[in-house]
């Protein structure tokens, strides 16, 4: 048994995740404690337990079955997204939640996983040529369907996760950096153009510099560049032609946590919370920023502030270290598994975790704009923690079958 | 490139990206948590800790015998915390407080400017009934509360309105000037001693630190109250005033307009200072209804005006000793120099009259003072000249403020050659201008305080003490009494000159031809001088200055009764009664305040206990 476990079960990943979940529960307890929302803590325990159960289940699903089920699961999850748009409940301006009696959830969390599985399944087919026109169009369609659906909710953060995961998985599948860039740059430039003209200029310059570094042929580079610029200008032009209320809606979409107390209030309070933690932190349940609810969304999107404030630099570094180790471990698993589908699934899952971590912690540290996506394993929320743990289960599954072709 | 090596390259790209981001984040954590901890820690505290002001108890005032004159008692102030207050509660609050909604709105607006989380004062000195109604309707009045504060209470029958003055709510203009300490709604001394000794009397605000959450609700005390700063009580001030004499002086002036100032000629202490008409300070304690303000401001007799220090009337004949001192000291005349008074004096084509029909006959300087002979002084003025007259006037202290520790006083007017040159042009004024100055008429003016000081100087033979009301300040925090130091200077006048001038003054009251005989008091030798200031707008103003006992003066007085007529008949009797009251009264002057300090502690103790029980 022991030998079997060592061989087939990746303790390193599992223990890292376990540690993160425990820290997450402590943080949710602290964040909800003074706010009189301890019921959330109890729910989170149940969800974590459900997540571990899900992890255990997917651990034993044969890889073959997973690969075959990828497309049907993808389509099913897209249908739930459509259903959400029609019947879902609106929370904080986004219609992303469906309730099925006592069980409810945000399908968009799950769609991240099914999209990764679908992309991995397609890209691992022997007939697929990643960089062919057909390959790029198919993968783009597989990506854009869920992206359009979450944008309609509207949920900018999740759409961003999809878009950022895409070039990573394509690159892993064998596409060149240039291809990845060519696919992403129009969206990046358009988004930047909607934020501000300065953002637009910076994005255009960045694309230009990258193209020069990559030294592709002049024609292709020019096409990529001019497409990006055209789309960027068009986006800005269309934006300016929209009625004011729609402009406002887009602005809110791009900066969803914009606060009436003034721009940057949330980001500032988060920085204050983390900064006031110092080396050892202010002590469990002693952080005034957390306990007195100065941090917005403190048990969801800004959960990183809680260990940052109450356990200080040491606590924050531990969390950061655990995530870094998990991500490195994910890449390692992706690179050692022999099966291409498993490898692509592993890198897709790792990329999703990576984007969440970079955007979420970056936001709490004031290095990223305020974009509302949860921190895996730590943030309060059933869909997030269950999906995350199930994804870890698939990662562990890939590891245990790493020697199978 | 093989599939294998491609995979290695790609893994590396991922490893480097992950490691790079982790490094950037770790460095950011170092920056935020290790390098900027102090800044963010402070910011976090400012966020979550609210300082609630605890008002200090204003210092008390004691008279020269240690008698408590002014202290503070508890009063309740209704407050609103703007962040919690609901507009819909306004009509109910308005009916409970009996204040119109516009006033309440304005006060909330002012409070909001400071902080929406800090309670803003809406109504001071609320009745108990009001508080009961607020308690009853607590649910319907979110953000409405009350705090214990203090208001002035006056413990003696003496009003001393202009002397004590009052503290009132700080104005926006004062707020801009007064600096950090004051916040909207605070009281600040606005007149009299309350203004002059504001920094000593006010004490220091205390702070209670409370934890508040992001919406400003109080969650509990910060650090279990260990960081709280208790308010520091204001210092007590010990006055030179004699409460009994002050009260008596006020009754003497009842129904009159004018002023009384009594000084101790041995040190410049103010024994009594009255300005009538006055006002009731009880109306000024805490909140002053606008009706009272308006009526006081619009009153034709200007009760807010401190006549004792601010009026500037010609001193009339009381001023004659200035000229006598100048002429004697400069050896222009001696007691042998005589003038025969025929009841009038011709200068050029003008005739100046003396105040008797028959004339005073042959008089020397002593008799001229006794009988207040104008003709003698007309002649003496022309002989002495403006320069010496101005010089000695200035030596006595005319034309400049006395430096009394009541905020407002006039410098008066003492003309000199430069003054006339400036006003009329060089060479465009004649010696004729001087004639009326000789008898204290025309372009000369002094306040009753300056006149009392003048009497003091003659009484003590030449020392100008800075008149003052406050003798000492008792610092309750260290239990130490600070005795205040005051200026003094001595006139370069020889004792012989003083003897001559004083001889004239004692005859004013005690001589057969004296003009101030009605000031006489059996058993007390009083010296003085009457004066009648011509008033182009109405009846003359009556003056009397004097001191007693003649040999060893302990009191110097000035009486001014506006539009009363002759000083000898209207002002002199009041001076006699005042001096008699003081010298024969039970009051024993000159006691140091230290012996009576227990009084201050016992007087404020009940208030402190009220405060602590109500908290």
pLDDT at residue B131, rounded to an integer? 86
Chain B contact for A247 (CB, 8 A cutoff):
no
Q: Which of A269, A273, A328 has its CB closest to that of B15?
A: A328
pLDDT at residue B590, rounded to an integer? 41
Q: How many CA atoms lie less than 13 Å away from A202 in the CB half-sphere? A: 9
Q: Are B106 and B169 in contact (CB under 8 A)?
A: no
Question: pLDDT tens across B381-391, in order?
Answer: 999 999 999 99
Give the model's confidence band at B582: pLDDT under 50 very low, under 70 low, under 90 confident, else very high.
very high
Dihedral sign, Cα of residue B230, residue B235, residue B236, residue B241 = negative
Q: Residue count of chain A, please give it.
A: 405
Instruction: Quote the distance between the C-alpha of residue B535 and its chain's center.
Output: 28
Residue A258's SS3 state is coil
Q: What percent of chain B has pLDDT over 70?
A: 90
DSSP, residue by residue, A87-145 = HPEEETTEEEEEEETTEEE-HHHHHHHHHHHHHHHHHTSTT--TTSHHHHHHHHHHHHH
Give the model's confidence band at A133: pLDDT under 50 very low, under 70 low, under 90 confident, else very high.
confident
pLDDT at residue B477, rounded to an integer? 79
| Higher local confidence (pLDDT), A300 or B605 | A300
pLDDT at residue A288, rounded to an integer? 75
Q: Which of A275, A377, A166, A384 is nearest to B32 (CA)?
A: A275
How far apart are the C-alpha atoms of A250 and A156, rounded to whole Å?
Answer: 10
Dihedral sign, Cα of residue A234, residue A238, residue A241, residue A246 = negative
pLDDT at residue B521, rounded to an integer? 92
Chain B contact for A334 (CB, 8 A cutoff):
yes
Question: pLDDT tens across A334-389, in order?
Answer: 999 999 999 999 999 999 999 999 999 998 888 877 777 899 999 998 899 999 99
Q: Which of B14, B29, B32 has its CB closest to that of A331?
A: B14
Give the model's confidence band at B286: pLDDT under 50 very low, under 70 low, under 90 confident, else very high.
low
* B33 chain-A contacts, CB cut-off 8 A: 274-275, 277-279, 308, 312-313, 316
Q: Do B29 and A316 touch (CB under 8 A)?
A: yes
pLDDT at residue B213, rounded to an integer? 64
pLDDT at residue B593, rounded to an integer? 40
What letter does residue B35 receive in the DSSP assignment?
Answer: I
Residues of B in CB contact (< 8 Å) with A are 6-8, 10-11, 13-15, 17-19, 21-22, 24-26, 28-30, 32-34, 36-37, 39-41, 43-45, 47-49, 211-215, 219
As to burial, measured by CB atoms within 10 angstroms (0-12 exposed, 13-18 middle, 19+ buried), residue A136 is: middle
Q: Do A324 and B39 touch (CB under 8 A)?
A: no
The mean pLDDT value for B325-349 works out to 91
Q: What percent of chain A has pLDDT over 70?
A: 86
Nearest chain A residue (CA) to B223: A286
DSSP, residue by residue, A165-193 = HHHHHHHHHT--HHHHHHHHHHHHHHHHH
Give the model's confidence band at B588: pLDDT under 50 very low, under 70 low, under 90 confident, else very high.
very low
H or E element, residue A200: helix A197-214
What letter does residue B224 receive in the DSSP assignment?
Answer: G
* A269 chain-B contacts, CB cut-off 8 A: 47
Nearest chain B residue (CA) to A293: B214
Q: Residue count of chain B, please give it.
A: 615
Task: Record the tokens describing residue B68, joined without a space.
Answer: 């408590």
- Please determine, for residue A107, whether its predicted confidence score (pLDDT) is greater than 70: yes
Q: Are B187 and B288 in contact (CB under 8 A)?
A: no
Nearest chain A residue (CA) to B21: A358
Give the model's confidence band at B8: pLDDT under 50 very low, under 70 low, under 90 confident, else very high.
confident
Round the CA-based radius of gyration of chain A to a whole number and report it: 21
- Please determine, for residue A48, whether its predicted confidence score (pLDDT) is greater than 60: yes
What sections of B403-468 are H helices per DSSP? Answer: 417-424, 432-438, 448-459
- Which one of B2, B40, B49, B211 makes the best mutation probe of the A interface by having the most chain A beta carbons within 10 Å? B40
How far apart are the C-alpha atoms of B455 and B224, rounded to whole Å?
Answer: 62
Q: Can you list the pairs that A83-88 forms with residues at least 24 positions away whose Cβ atoms lie under 8 Å?
A: A83/A107, A84/A108, A84/A153, A85/A149, A85/A152, A85/A153, A88/A153
Question: pLDDT tens across B229-255, in order?
Answer: 888 889 999 999 999 999 999 999 998
The mean pLDDT value for A59-63 works out to 90
Task: Record the tokens describing residue B125, joined without a space.
Answer: 């000195």
What pTM, to 2 d.p., does this model score?
0.60
Question: pLDDT tens across B493-518, in order?
Answer: 999 999 999 999 999 999 988 899 99
- Please determine, for residue A177, whether its predicted confidence score (pLDDT) is greater than 60: yes
- Please determine, for residue B438, whether its predicted confidence score (pLDDT) is greater than 80: yes
Write the secondary structure of B334-381 as one string of H (helix), E (strand) and C (coil): CCCCCEEECCEEEECCEEEECCCCCCCEEECHHHHHHHCCHHHHHHHH
Task: Record the tokens describing residue B448, joined without a space.
Answer: 């009753």
Q: Which of A168, A276, A320 has its CB closest to that of B44?
A: A276
Q: Do A294 and B33 touch (CB under 8 A)?
A: no
The mean pLDDT value for B96-110 works out to 86
Question: pLDDT tens across B130-179, in order?
Answer: 888 888 888 888 888 888 877 888 999 999 999 999 888 888 788 777 77
- Which one of A37, A165, A272 makes the best mutation probe of the B interface by having the most chain B beta carbons within 10 Å? A272
How far apart are the C-alpha atoms of B436 and B441, rounded to whole Å?
Answer: 5
Q: Which of A34, A277, A292 has its CB closest to that of B212?
A: A292
What sections of B115-262 are H helices per DSSP? Answer: 128-136, 161-164, 172-178, 192-196, 198-201, 243-252
pLDDT at residue B41, rounded to an integer? 80
In Å, how far are A261, A289, B52, B227 from B49, measured between CA atoms? 19, 11, 9, 11
- Please determine, for residue B568, whether its predicted confidence score (pLDDT) is greater than 90: no
- Please determine, for residue B603, whether its predicted confidence score (pLDDT) is greater than 60: no
> Which conformational region is residue B143 in: left (phi greater than 0), alpha (psi within -120 to 50 degrees), or beta?
left
Dihedral sign, Cα of residue B128, residue B129, residue B132, residue B138 = negative
- Please determine, for residue A26, whether its predicted confidence score (pLDDT) is greater than 90: yes
pLDDT at residue A345, rounded to an integer? 95
Give the model's confidence band at B602: pLDDT under 50 very low, under 70 low, under 90 confident, else very high.
very low
- Please determine, for residue A125, whether its predicted confidence score (pLDDT) is greater than 90: no
Round the CA-based radius of gyration of chain B to a whole number and report it: 34
Q: Which of B169, B125, B124, B155 is nearest to B61 (CA)?
A: B155
Residues in contact with A326: Cβ distance below 8 Å, sequence separation at least 6, in sequence order: A13, A16, A17, A20, A353
B549: preceding bond cis by omega (within 30 degrees): yes
pLDDT at residue A100, rounded to an integer? 47
Give the model's confidence band at A278: pLDDT under 50 very low, under 70 low, under 90 confident, else very high.
confident
Q: Which of A79-93, B118-132, B439-453, B521-535 has the lowest mean pLDDT?
A: A79-93
- Please determine, for residue B402, whether its predicted confidence score (pLDDT) is greater than 50: yes
Question: What's chain A's average pLDDT?
Answer: 83
Q: Quick count: other Cβ atoms within 10 Å of Cβ B407? A: 18
pLDDT at residue B599, rounded to an integer? 36
Q: Which of A378-382, B6-10, B134-138, B288-292 has the lowest mean pLDDT?
A: B288-292
Beta bridge partners of B151: B73
How far apart are the C-alpha atoms of B106 and B119, rounded to whole Å?
Answer: 14
Give the model's confidence band at B214: pLDDT under 50 very low, under 70 low, under 90 confident, else very high.
low
Residues in contact with B506: Cβ distance below 8 Å, sequence separation at least 6, in sequence order: B525, B526, B527, B550
């Amino acid at each position: 048994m022991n030998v079997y476990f060592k061989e087939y079960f990746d303790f390193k990943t599992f223990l890292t995740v376990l540690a993160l979940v425990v820290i997450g529960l402590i943080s949710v307890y602290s964040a909800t404690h003074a706010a009189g929302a301890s019921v959330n803590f109890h729910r989170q325990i149940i969800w974590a337990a459900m997540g571990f159960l899900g992890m255990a289940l997917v651990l034993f699903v044969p890889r073959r079955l997973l690969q075959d089920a990828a497309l049907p699961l993808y389509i099913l999850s897209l249908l739930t997204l459509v259903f959400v748009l029609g019947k879902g409940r609106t929370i904080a301006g986004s219609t992303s939640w469906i309730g099925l009696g006592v069980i409810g959830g945000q399908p968009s969390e799950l769609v991240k996983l099914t999209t990764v599985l679908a992309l991995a399944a397609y890209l691992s087919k022997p007939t697929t040529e990643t960089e062919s026109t057909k390959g790029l169009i198919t993968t783009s369609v597989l990506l854009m369907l869920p992206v359009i659906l979450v944008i309609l909710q509207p949920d900018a953060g999740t759409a961003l996760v999809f878009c950022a995961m895409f070039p990573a998985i394509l690159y892993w599948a064998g596409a060149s950096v240039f291809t990845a860039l060519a696919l992403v740059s129009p969206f990046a430039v358009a988004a930047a153009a909607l934020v501000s003209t300065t953002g637009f200029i910076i994005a255009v310059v960045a694309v230009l510099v990258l193209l020069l570094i990559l030294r592709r042929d002049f024609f292709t580079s020019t096409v990529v560049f001019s497409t990006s610029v055209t789309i960027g200008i068009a986006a800005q032009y269309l934006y300016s032609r929209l009625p004011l209320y729609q402009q406002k809606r887009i602005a809110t979409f791009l900066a969803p946590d914009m606060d009436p107390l003034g721009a940057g209030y949330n980001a500032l309070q988060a920085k204050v919370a983390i900064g006031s933690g110092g080396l050892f932190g202010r002590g469990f349940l002693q952080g005034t920023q957390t306990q007195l609810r100065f941090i917005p969304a403190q048990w969801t999107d800004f959960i990183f502030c809680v260990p940052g404030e109450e356990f200080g630099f040491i606590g924050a570094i531990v969390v950061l270290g655990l995530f870094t180790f998990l991500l490195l471990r994910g890449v390692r698993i992706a690179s050692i598994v022999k099966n291409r589908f498993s490898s692509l699934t592993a890198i897709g899952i790792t990329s999703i975790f990576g984007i969440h971590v970079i955007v979420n912690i970056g936001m709490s540290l004031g290095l990223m704009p305020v974009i509302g996506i949860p921190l895996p394993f730590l943030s309060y929320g059933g869909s997030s923690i269950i999906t995350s743990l199930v994804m870890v289960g698939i990662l562990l599954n890939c590891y245990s079958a790493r020697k199978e072709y | 490139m093989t599939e294998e090596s491609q995979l290695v390259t790609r893994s590396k790209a991922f490893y480097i990206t992950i490691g790079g981001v982790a490094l950037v984040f770790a460095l950011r954590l170092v920056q935020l948590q290790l390098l900027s901890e102090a800044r963010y820690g402070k910011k976090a505290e400012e966020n979550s800790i609210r300082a609630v002001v605890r008002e200090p108890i204003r210092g008390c005032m004691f008279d020269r015998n240690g008698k408590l004159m002014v202290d503070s008692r508890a009063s309740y102030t209704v407050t609103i915390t703007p962040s919690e207050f609901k507009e819909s509660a306004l009509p109910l609050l308005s009916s409970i407080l009996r204040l119109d909604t516009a006033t309440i709105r304005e006060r909330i607006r002012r409070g909001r400017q400071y902080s929406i989380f800090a309670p803003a004062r809406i109504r001071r000195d609320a009745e108990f009934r009001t508080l009961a109604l607020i308690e009853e309707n607590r649910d319907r009045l979110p953000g409405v509360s009350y705090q214990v504060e203090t208001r002035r209470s006056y413990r003696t029958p003496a009003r001393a309105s202009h002397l004590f003055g009052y503290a009132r709510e700080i104005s926006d203009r004062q707020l801009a000037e007064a600096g950090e300490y004051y916040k909207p709604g605070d009281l600040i001394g606005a007149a009299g001693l309350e203004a002059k000794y504001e920094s000593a009397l006010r004490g220091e605000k205390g702070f209670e630190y409370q934890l508040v959450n992001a919406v400003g609700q109080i969650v509990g005390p910060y650090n279990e109250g260990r960081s709280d700063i208790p308010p520091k009580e204001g210092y007590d001030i010990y006055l030179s005033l004699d409460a009994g004499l002050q009260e008596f002086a006020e009754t003497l002036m009842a129904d009159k307009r004018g002023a009384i100032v009594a000084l101790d000629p041995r040190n410049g202490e103010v024994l009594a200072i009255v300005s009538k008409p006055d006002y009731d300070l009880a109306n000024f304690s805490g909140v002053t209804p606008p009706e009272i303000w308006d009526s006081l401001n619009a009153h034709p007799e200007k009760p807010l005006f401190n006549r004792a220090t601010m009026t500037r009337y010609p001193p009339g004949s009381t001023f004659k000793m200035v000229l006598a001192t100048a002429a004697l000291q400069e050896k222009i005349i001696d007691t042998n120099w005589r003038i025969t008074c025929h009841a009038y004096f011709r200068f050029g084509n003008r005739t100046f009259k003396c105040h008797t029909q028959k004339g005073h006959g042959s008089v020397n300087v002593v008799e001229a003072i006794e009988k207040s002979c104008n003709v003698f002084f007309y002649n003496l003025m022309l002989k002495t000249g403006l320069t010496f007259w101005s010089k000695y006037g200035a030596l006595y202290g005319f034309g400049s403020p006395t430096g009394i520790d009541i905020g407002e006083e006039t410098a008066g007017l003492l003309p000199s050659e430069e003054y006339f040159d400036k006003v009329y042009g060089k060479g465009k004024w004649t010696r004729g201008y001087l004639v009326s100055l000789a008898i204290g008429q025309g372009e000369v003016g002094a306040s009753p305080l300056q006149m009392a000081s003048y009497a003091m100087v003659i009484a003590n033979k030449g020392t100008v003490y800075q008149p003052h009301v406050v003798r000492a300040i008792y610092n309750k925090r260290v239990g130490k009494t600070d005795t205040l130091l005051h200026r003094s200077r001595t006139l370069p006048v020889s004792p012989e000159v003083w003897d001559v001038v004083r001889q004239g003054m004692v005859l004013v009251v005690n001589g057969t031809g004296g003009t101030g005989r009605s000031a006489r008091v059996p058993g007390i030798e009083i010296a003085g001088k009457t004066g009648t200031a011509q008033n182009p707008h109405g009846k003359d103003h009556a003056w009397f200055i004097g001191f007693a006992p003649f040999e060893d003066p302990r009191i110097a007085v000035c009486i001014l009764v506006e539009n009363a007529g002759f000083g000898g008949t209207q002002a002199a009797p009041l001076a006699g009664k005042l001096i008699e009251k003081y010298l024969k009264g039970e009051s024993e002057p000159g006691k140091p305040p230290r012996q009576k300090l227990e009084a201050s502690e016992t007087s404020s103790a009940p208030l402190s206990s009220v405060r602590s029980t109500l908290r």
